[in-house]
A and B are shown apart, each in its own frame.
Chain A
Amino acid sequence: MAFKGVDYYGIEELLSDEEKMFRNAARGFLEKEVEPLVVNAFHKEELLNMKELAPKMGEVGMIGATIPQEYGGGGANYTQFGLLCQELERVDGALRSFVAVQSGLVMYPIWQFGTEEQKRKWLPQMASGKIIGCFGLTEPNRGSDVGGMETVAKKNGNVWVLNGAKEWISEASTADFALVYARTDEGVKAFLIPRGTEGFTQTFTDKKGAMRVGDVGTLALNDVKVPEEDVLPGSTRVKHVFACLNQARFGISWGAIGAAMSCYETALNYTKQREQFGAPIAAYQLVQRDLVNMLIEITKAQLLSYRLGRLLDAGKAKHQQISLAKKNNVEMARMCARTARSLLGANGCSYDYPPIRHMGNIEAVYTYQGTDFIHTLILGQDITGIQAFTRKL
């Protein structure tokens, strides 16, 4: 493995053998099987073929890592899942998105809120990568304001009829089925809708400046009929939606570290080799300041996510702590991507080096899974006791 990691505070010593082994297995797999495909795919906005890659990732245990083994998952702890997300996003954010969506946003709610039959039907196939799911929550008119969801489901006998649209959905056009949220008279419910269902359209969105190797698109629902057995019985309120988002947000906090590590390593190697005015540019004080700032922020983010993983494993993590890690680490990765891009000078504008690709991707991450503002308000409410999400004008 070419990448040796960034570990200024000896976090390696805090990890168990199986945590390090899984991280190393993921790193080896991704460096060999996926990384060589990424740059051209990003440049041309050609999707990585997840129908081909997902079964390979499933074999290594990358999909549904924290889901119990009896449902095909890996039975991993949260730190292992986090380390996996770090390695995925070090290669490209769209890969981490794929795994976070499969594991945290589709498998997790089926496991937590589904019937035994639903779990047996979907989870093992998803874990093996044979089936890909997507998570339909965000709407054209409703992003952060989840409670204002416009997609509706009305019950007609034993069948639900759904109408509405979902936008910016990862794996939208590839997915074999979608887990779609809709407002009902009984609260917000989650519906499992297979590809090809009448009235259900899956479309790819192109001309993106971020996540260009990943499938992002829209779902349209026009009188889509969903039988009662394809509704998750345990998911009836918005708080159940947030339980899924917390899984993915935790993964993002680690993924951001991966992107930042890639940027830092690239900048460090580059500035030690690039000579200007008779010396490597790493010999100049301003450059060293930038490198050190990146290292400091990465190290702080690592300690944050490491502790958060342990809190989650102990069942003690508050969702506000997940918000803090997501907000901090994504902002950190955003700074590292920009700093590294700048240190690489004109070469920093080339896809031959990863920072500008991470820079694009991290903009999407800054906004999705709770915008930076929203996480700020979550924390603001927690420390003041006053909500600042809504106001009456």
Chain B
Amino acid sequence: MPDVKMVVCCKQVPDPEAPPTAFKIDPTVNKVTLPRDIKPVIGQYDEFALEAALRIKDKVGGKITVLSLGNNIARDVIKKTLAVGGDELILLEDESFEEGDSWSTAYALAMAIKKIGEYDLIFCGRQSSDWDAGQVGLGIAEILSIPALTLARKVEIIDGKAKVEQVISDGYQVTEIGFPSVITVTSELGNLRYAALKGIMAAAKKQPVVWKPADIGLEPSQVGIAGRRVKLAKLFQPAKDAKCEIVEGESPAEAGANLAVKLREAKII
């Protein structure tokens, strides 16, 4: 089936490869603070989701609309989605979108997808690369009343349906899902292709469309922190207490046996 209409949700997150010591938590306001030199990136799982859509476009043709929600979305980061082959970029960008939870994010994205109108497949990463909640994709499906499949490692279009290989604990299962539907994608699908110079130069000519809450029929009170249904009770860095104990023995074998006894006593094995 040619020309599959796809929406891919991509979130801008702080670079997860930044050293953990760079992230500071302020427990008085329950917030993570980042130094300025930690650059944002597109969430890794969202990149896999985009790659899934690009492979479908390569094989059977289609249109990819990338959707991103946040505030101060870095253009040089998010336009990578256009450089690799996305056709259109819509940013839900406003101060009021900040600090939402999975529900308020899914709700705003679903309203934007409704406004986009025509869609066959909605791709999301299996979870974000910052909070790891893993709920937004399924939330969008619930709000739009469409089916969803999770943890896709391969997606193909066959006879007007998506044939999906889903990762399970001991392998994978093959399932089919009709249109329209939501598919969340996992790392086994493979990395997003590199942005090539020609794609970057072509993307430079495209400008993202920016929608505010009112553009998708929402009040500022329905999005971001105001629209949260989950309250963050406490955010803090757990104190870690590390102790080192040398397990001795007359021989390596005896030391090993002594270690095993201690691990058993500690109920680790």
Contact = CB atoms under 8 A, between A and B. Distances in A.
Given A4-B18, A21-B76, A28 B203 contact: no
A117 interface: no
A350 B204 CA distance: 43
B194 A25 contact: yes
B83 interface: yes
A176 B38 CA distance: 43
Contacts of B201: 18, 69, 74-76
B167 to A, nearest CB: 23
Contacts of A65: 197
B198 interface: yes
Interface in A1-40: 1-2, 4-5, 7, 16-18, 20-22, 24-25, 28-29
A7 B37 CA distance: 9
Given A1-B17, A28-B194, A60-B194, A21 B200 contact: yes
Contact of A20 (B37, B38, B76): B76
Contact of B200 (A7, A18, A28): A18
B198 A17 contact: no
Given A4-B37, A21-B200, A29 B17 contact: no
A191 B76 CA distance: 42
B187 to A, nearest CB: 15
Contacts of A62: 197
Contacts of B18: 4
A5 to B, nearest CB: 8
A80 B83 CA distance: 15
Contacts of A75: 197-198, 201
Interface in B63-97: 75-76, 79-80, 83
Interface in B13-27: 15, 17-18
B198 A24 contact: no
Given A21-B76, A21-B83, A75-B201, A4 B38 contact: yes
Contact of A59 (B38, B83, B194, B204): B194
A136 interface: no
Contact of B196 (A1, A59, A80): A59
Interface size class of B (residues with CB under 8 A): 20 to 34
Given A7-B37, A17-B76, A17-B204, A25 B196 contact: yes
A61 interface: yes
Contact of B198 (A1, A2, A28, A69): A69
B204 A61 contact: no
Contacts of A69: 198, 201
Contact of A21 (B15, B38, B203): B203
Interface of B: 15, 17-18, 37-39, 41, 75-76, 79-80, 83, 194-198, 200-201, 203-204
Interface of A: 1-2, 4-5, 7, 16-18, 20-22, 24-25, 28-29, 59-62, 65, 69, 74-76, 80
Given A24-B195, A25-B197, A74-B201, 10 more contacts: A1-B17, A16-B204, A17-B76, A20-B76, A22-B197, A24-B80, A25-B80, A25-B83, A25-B195, A62-B197
27 contacts: A1-B41, A2-B17, A4-B18, A4-B39, A17-B75, A21-B83, A21-B200, A21-B203, A22-B195, A25-B80, A25-B83, A25-B195, A25-B197, A28-B194, A29-B194, A59-B194, A60-B194, A60-B195, A60-B197, A61-B198, A62-B197, A69-B198, A74-B201, A75-B197, A75-B198, A76-B201, A80-B197
